[in-house]
Structure 1
């Protein structure tokens, strides 16, 4: 999707997680910092030769800062991926604040973190190889934007702006499911074409489509629409991403064959179909949890 260049981004929806050093155990002198840097870059621990109690423990922790403080308009979102993530988050938040009423849930905004290489979460250590994900205990979305390069180069997606934002909207859909209680009520431990895990993923695809269907009418704080009218080419862009991450597509690229009994996210055809269902019929049409497996 193309952002309306004059739309205004409020900022603050997307944070960037980074690694920071914490030095404890008393006053920190220059010598302690030098020792820390030597250890970091050479692997040689010289802390034993530092006198006094200046350096007793050095730990690393994740810190979050505003990921896009300079992103102010839709023009910025059309040009930079961090700004695009901010714009998508603001639009998604506006949409679900309103649409949640139709689902009967009390909506709250998820945290949304960008990271590079790795980060710690309540769901475990995440790396770029993990791919984008939603962590229910944190009620947060985690994404390394390097995944978008993989989406295009390794998974065969067109990799355009709506393909990128589809990924965010899918994870946002998982947050909506968390608020609905779908995660707690669905057994996601199994695999297979009609397993609970597949049903949850297809519903998140449908929720992503529902947002896209409404996105061109969602407005910023000034009453300006975030996006220009959506084109068929942009919908095809999103569908290419949904197809690229289908279980059958991933398995066929890896092994040359698909095994439906091991599916956890749904086939390419299913993911595209449920995205389109949400796009055409809205979030209330996204019941994948109670229907027969043959209807998935």
Structure 2
């Protein structure tokens, strides 16, 4: 992924905090292991408090760790600035594509974080909290994506993960996420929850298609290799692939995010069309 050196970065869209230590409450999924926790919580559009316990609270005190990220050229000197570039590009696109889009922030934390959805630890993986409309991310997840889940990694894979979470923000703004939540915590290959996750994958693909067309985007180019890395990351977090890796068997009825093939297919559909109207996974 290539960046525009002259592009202005808006660091106010990325906040950070350091929670340190573990969550005060016990995880609802006990004794299963970190990779299964990631399977259940990764890219979750729902309350992470259901996994880690704790009471709902507002976001923690934020710091200005990204204030020095002012232009695309700063990414060369400080690689952390790439998270500002991802966020800026994603929100610039959606502010034009979705009427009434409401900007939010990416909150980067370590250890644990208090959100309006409850307290979450790094083990939850990236998630979106619909109550405060913030995307939460421990960047250490990207090491897990490559070392434990076997993805190739790279900037495009990271951007896909964040764009997926912003896809949940879009589903929240359009009312789709709320409808799925009211339907209950269903699982299975064709469940509303899986369709919600696939919609977020599709929205991520739509953004990737349009990222370089937007003059306000700090993304200069997305290569074929970038697309392959994003697709590889989507496959790595497929329910079937994680289940096979962790338990040696696949249980379609317990799926929460979709298979590797489903996730790749919807990411590709979003990219190939470049049209968010093609992301109605509920009609498929």
TM over 0.5: yes
Of 128, 131, 140 in structure 1, the residue corresponding to residue 122 of structure 2 is 128
Among candidates 196, 207, 213, match of residue 211 of structure 1: 207
Larger radius of gyration: 1
Question: Whose relative contact order is higher, 1 or 2, with alpha carbons under 8 Å and at least 6 apart?
Answer: 2
Give the TM-score normalised by structure 1: 0.78
Q: Distance in 1 between matches of 2:266 and 2:87?
A: 21
Given the two structures, how large is their TM-score scaled by the length of structure 2?
A: 0.82
Give, in whole Å, the separation in 2 of the partners of 1:255 and 1:121. Answer: 31
The residue number in structure 2 matching 1:10 is: 10
Residue 264 (str. 1) matches residue 262 (str. 2): no
SS of aligned partner of 1:65: coil
- RMSD of aligned residue pairs (Cα, Å): 1.6
The answer to whether the Cα contact below 8 Å between 2:198 and 2:266 also exists between their aligned partners in 1 is yes
Per-residue Cα deviation, 1:219-256 (whole angstroms, up to 9, x for no partner): 23xxxx52223211110010111011100111011011
Post-superposition shift, 1:156? 0.8
CA distance in 1, matches of 2:222, 2:247: 36
Q: CA deviation at 1:74?
A: 1.6
SS of residue in 1 equivalent to 2:11 = coil
1:274 CA drift (Å): 0.3
Aligned residues between the structures:
243
Mind listing any 5+ residue stretches in structure 1 that lack a counterpart?
21-60, 292-296
Match of 1:73 in 2: 71
| Kept in 2: contact 1:2–1:161 (CA 8 A) | no
Per-residue deviation, residues 134-160 of structure 1 (Å, max 9, x unmatched): 000011110000001101101111110
Alignment of 1:117-196 (within 5 A): 117-186=111-180, 187-196=183-192
- Show CA shifts across 1:153-195 (max 9, x none): 0111111000001010000000010000012212251110000
- In structure 1, the residue corresponding to 2:60 is in which secondary structure? strand
- Shift of residue 196 of structure 1? 0.6
* Corresponding residue number in structure 2 for 1:52: none
Q: Distance in 1 between matches of 2:206 and 2:3?
A: 18
Deviation digits for residues 53-108 of structure 1 (CA, Å, limit 9, x no counterpart)? xxxxxxxx92112231111222333564431110111111110001103xxxx210
